[in-house]
Amino acid sequence: MASMIFTDPSSAAAVHRLPFTRFSNGLNTLRRFVGPLHVSSPTPTLPRTLSVHSPRSSRFVTASMAIESSAKVIDGKAVAKQMREEISAEVSKLKETIGVVPGLAVILVGDRKDSATYVRNKKKACESVGINSFEVHLPDDASEEEVLKFISDFNGDPSVHGILVQLPLPSHMNEQNILNAVTIEKDVDGFHPLNIGRLAMRGREPLFVPCTPKGCIELLHRYGVDIKGKRAVVIGRSNIVGMPAALLLQREDATVTIVHSRTKNPEEITRQADIIISAVGQPNMVRGSWIKPGAVIVDVGINPVEDASSPRGYRLVGDVCYDEACKVAAAVTPVPGGVGPMTIAMLLSNTLSSAKRAFDIKIGALRIRVKASDEAGSRLAL
Amino acid sequence: MASMIFTDPSSAAAVHRLPFTRFSNGLNTLRRFVGPLHVSSPTPTLPRTLSVHSPRSSRFVTASMAIESSAKVIDGKAVAKQMREEISAEVSKLKETIGVVPGLAVILVGDRKDSATYVRNKKKACESVGINSFEVHLPDDASEEEVLKFISDFNGDPSVHGILVQLPLPSHMNEQNILNAVTIEKDVDGFHPLNIGRLAMRGREPLFVPCTPKGCIELLHRYGVDIKGKRAVVIGRSNIVGMPAALLLQREDATVTIVHSRTKNPEEITRQADIIISAVGQPNMVRGSWIKPGAVIVDVGINPVEDASSPRGYRLVGDVCYDEACKVAAAVTPVPGGVGPMTIAMLLSNTLSSAKRAFDIKIGALRIRVKASDEAGSRLAL
């Protein structure tokens, strides 16, 4: 099982780094369209009786019928598409009205094929919404200083609003040093401790929220899932998904428990949850018996499992046993086609926000200068 | 009830700022010795059969017997005393060996009597362990710029290792601006978002941990309470106690749930906990029925309630109904004499750590300079 591993350790589906050691195995970020087209349900809590409609995927409908599904499918692919259209419209408007084009810089070191694929995907995604992308590709034996020099240049470049360093870096580099060098104003991954601290604190606002957990919450919002006052369980406590997802749910007034590798009775605790976010990297770990009837499930795991019937020899499954979940839950994200597509959409969203903020700050500074100049003029006139 | 309110909104027992709006009322930081002398129990989980020994407080023993207590009393006063002795010894050693004396600066603005008392207590505590204290007292109509100037001076002063701004500040000042001006290296309160972010993240270390939650965990450690794998419930989600306490428990591998004002069934959730930390500010809110038999309870609340039989007309109680808790729990902190005395002890501990770190950094820089000079010498010799 899981003989092939495809991972994107930077913003796009970095769930493979989850320290859920007792359960963890390989993960995959390949994504294929599976889910049918659904958009936002206005109901605060999704009723279990909602049926699965699929005008575009008869294969999926058949599968759903076979497992007597009553759960609504949370279609991340469709939501991500809708988000990209919204971002694209905003980018055009920004360009037309004030001449600002958001820019994302990606630094890739070495020749890992998977990393090259992720960088290419990000570049394509930027192009599709009109965001400029800047790519630096350094050889595997590049020095840490070279990488730091590029980061420093991008930090100072006003046409760059977000900087991503594609991970993993070659072993001779200090990852923390390099990531810390990215200015917090361009930390579109949202992993800077200052951003995480602000996320944890009431009354503070982070500049950026990490993309994958932000995508999970966005899915809940767009499907009208009420979070306030609900019991939520986050399975996995990684810095990049589990922990920030828990902080986001907490900010929205859920009562949150993080279940992790040292939790003695994960099944019992998870069964109390109205909302489950699983980010572990263990295929089918969350069984039907873990799920409270009517719960809403967001499955972040993307795990390859061997499948001789597939042309590739494997298929992708989530942390949650999808067939069983469909029988118990009110709504569930499929894998692939659930959280996966949301991550890059959120990266684009963070880059757009950064460009808007940079412009607002520039305008603010300009206004202060104009005001100061006016005041100086008034004084002169007196 | 609770007609008198005594609060210290800076590091010492700032629980009154907890945003537990549905339950919240006044709080009190006056502390009196109640608990008997106990130090560290080697048992991983405290057995319920442990009796309360009190060689020094017959009043307390009588009270305990009257309520048929089976809970061990976690004596914060005694632990704090022991900690101060340890700190005092370390301060002496530091002075003797390398001539460094830790220094704490406190800035007080205005004439609030309670604030003056808290500042005086901190000064006294510093003196008692040999830490230098520096106090700035500004009038109520001082400007924000004046306060910022003092902070800037203390930031640059190598004899100051910790800076505290006594809260509340006069209303014409921006509290966040002022607190943010304290350099992170001297943020002995540990409330800087960068510290909180590092506390939340696995693999990162905060420079300082907020004093009150650090005191709670220290009590659990010194009483040999096993945290790893235990269910923990933190009641209250303030930036200064609840949230960082939850992060600390999480770092020690507990399975943590934060219960707050929007939680629908706090009693039921709390009853699942092996460890309860309550930081709400609601007298006697946590009843016996909320407590799992054998749980360990850390009560951060210090609430004044009217009491005609007391010479002061009030007495202090915790968030937890102590009499009922004693019948169910394995161990419980009294109020006063539990968490309260730990806060200032932790402030002293943070100041000492800061002084040691500053010295280490200085020595490290010196070593680098010496090494560079050696290398330069070697090059010259070649």
For residues A255 and A277, the answer to whether their CB atoms sit within 8 Å is no
Interface test with A, best of B45, B189, B192, B201 (most A CBs within 10 A): B201
Q: What is the tens place of the pLDDT at every residue in B320-377?
A: 999 999 999 999 999 999 999 999 999 999 999 999 999 887 776 666 666 666 555 5
For residues A332 and A74, the answer to whether their CB atoms sit within 8 Å is yes
Residues from chain A that touch B195, judged by Cβ atoms under 8 A, are 197
Residues from chain A that touch B228, judged by Cβ atoms under 8 A, are 262
Per-residue pLDDT at B176:
85
Give the minimum alpha-carbon distance from B241 to chain A in angstroms, rounded to a whole number.
Answer: 11
Instruction: Report the distance separating Cα B106 and Cα B41, nearest Å.
Output: 36
Count H helices, E strands: chain A? 11, 11
Stretches in chain B below the pLDDT threshold 50 = 1-7, 11-67, 378-382
Kindly state which CATH superfamily the domain A15-78+209-340 is placed in: NAD(P)-binding Rossmann-like Domain (3.40.50.720)
Least CA distance to B198: which residue of chain A? A193
Using the beta-carbon criterion (under 8 Å), do A194 and B195 form an inter-chain contact?
Answer: no
Instruction: Report the distance separating Cα A342 and Cα A346, nearest Å.
Output: 6
Per-residue pLDDT at B374:
59
* CA A212 to chain CA centroid, nearest Å: 2
Per-residue pLDDT at A368:
65
Closest C-alpha among A335, A339, A333, A343 to residue A209 = A343
Q: Judge whether A258 is closer than 8 Å to chain B, CB to CB.
A: yes
Residue A189 annotated as catalytic:
yes
Using the beta-carbon criterion (under 8 Å), do B262 and A253 form an inter-chain contact?
Answer: yes
Torsion angle, CA of B105/B111/B117/B123, rounded to 10 degrees?
20
Per-residue pLDDT at B70:
84
**Structural Rg of chain A based on CA atoms:** 22
Q: Judge whether A257 is closer than 8 Å to chain B, CB to CB.
A: yes
User: Does the domain made of B15-79+210-341 have the CATH classification 3.40.50.720?
Assistant: yes
The verdict on whether omega for the bond into residue B102 sits within 30 degrees of 0, i.e. cis, is no
Per-residue pLDDT at A198:
96
Q: Judge whether A229 is closer than 8 Å to chain B, CB to CB.
A: yes
Instruction: Report the distance separating Cα B71 and Cα B331, nearest Å.
Output: 5
Q: Which residues of B278-303 are buried (b: 16+ CB within 10 A; e: fewer)?
A: bbbbbbbbbeeebbbebbbbbbbbbb
Q: Among partner residues A199, A250, A260, which is closest to B237 by beta-carbon distance?
A: A250
Per-residue pLDDT at A68:
60
Q: Judge whether A250 is closer than 8 Å to chain B, CB to CB.
A: yes
Per-residue pLDDT at A18:
30
* CA B34 to chain CA centroid, nearest Å: 19
Q: Among partner residues B201, B243, B259, which is closest to A255 by beta-carbon distance?
A: B259
Residue A312 has which token pair? 């590739």
Active site residues of B: 122, 166, 189
Q: Judge whether B243 is closer than 8 Å to chain A, CB to CB.
A: yes
Residues from chain A that touch B196, judged by Cβ atoms under 8 A, are 196-197, 200-201
Q: Judge whether A203 is closer than 8 Å to chain B, CB to CB.
A: yes
Per-residue pLDDT at B22:
39
- Give how far Cα B227 sits from Cα of B81, B140, B221, B331, B338, Å: 24, 45, 9, 14, 19
Closest C-alpha among A46, A43, A52, A50 to residue A75 = A52
E runs forming strands in chain A: 72-73, 103-109, 132-138, 162-165, 231-235, 255-259, 275-278, 296-299, 303-306, 314-317, 331-332
Domain ranges of chain A: 15-78+209-340
Q: Print pLDDT tens along chain A (382 aa).
A: 333 333 355 543 433 323 333 333 333 332 222 222 233 333 333 333 333 333 333 333 333 344 466 899 999 999 999 999 999 999 999 999 999 999 999 999 999 998 999 899 999 999 999 999 999 999 999 999 999 999 999 999 999 999 999 989 999 999 889 988 999 999 999 999 999 999 999 999 999 999 999 999 999 999 999 999 999 999 999 999 999 999 999 999 999 999 999 999 999 999 999 999 999 999 999 999 999 999 999 999 999 999 999 999 999 999 999 999 999 999 999 999 999 999 999 999 999 999 999 988 777 666 666 666 655 544 444 4
